């Protein structure tokens, strides 16, 4: 349980950092980033359940990258404090992928 909370907090901090770096990607505050982290996790789980592990960012590859961008883009329609353009979602997906390679938010 504590591990899950830590992963969501780290994910929220990553979203805030990405919001600072990437144009077209904005998250309103830590609470908004925390809610966005939960929503992104749930949407990612649903997509992975429907289409298999190949479409997850952990499956790597171009399909995983675009799937992550779509999940990030769709999250803005659920989280009111989040604004994402299509280019912002693509850039955020790339930056989050690089950060995840350095600081993994999921135990593998």
Q: Is residue 30, in this structure, part of any structural domain at all?
A: yes
Higher pLDDT, 23 or 45: 23
Q: Is residue 45, in this structure, part of any structural domain at all?
A: yes
Q: What is the pTM of this model?
A: 0.82
- Give the pLDDT confidence score for residue 65 in this predicted structure: 82
Domain count, the chain: 1
- Give the pLDDT confidence score for residue 57 in this predicted structure: 56
Q: Is residue 9, in this structure, part of any structural domain at all?
A: yes
For 50-96, the pLDDT digits (tens) are 877 665 555 557 777 888 899 999 999 999 999 999 999 999 998 88
Q: Is residue 62, in this structure, part of any structural domain at all?
A: yes
- Give the pLDDT confidence score for residue 102 in this predicted structure: 81
**Measured distance between the N- and C-terminal CA atoms of the chain, rounded to whole angstroms:** 17
**d(Cα 44, Cα 30) in Å, to the nearest integer?**
21
By residue range, what is the domain housing residue 94? 2-102
């Amino acid at each position: 349980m504590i591990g899950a909370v830590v992963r969501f907090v780290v994910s929220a901090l990553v979203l805030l950092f990405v919001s600072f770096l990437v144009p077209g990607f904005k998250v309103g505050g830590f609470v908004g980033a925390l809610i966005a982290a939960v929503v992104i996790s749930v949407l990612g789980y649903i997509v992975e359940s429907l289409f298999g592990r190949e479409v997850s960012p952990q499956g790597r590859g171009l399909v995983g990258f675009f799937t992550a961008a779509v999940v990030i883009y769709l999250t803005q329609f659920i989280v009111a404090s989040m604004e994402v353009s299509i280019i912002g979602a693509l850039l955020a997906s790339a930056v989050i992928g690089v950060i995840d390679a350095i600081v993994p938010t999921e135990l593998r």
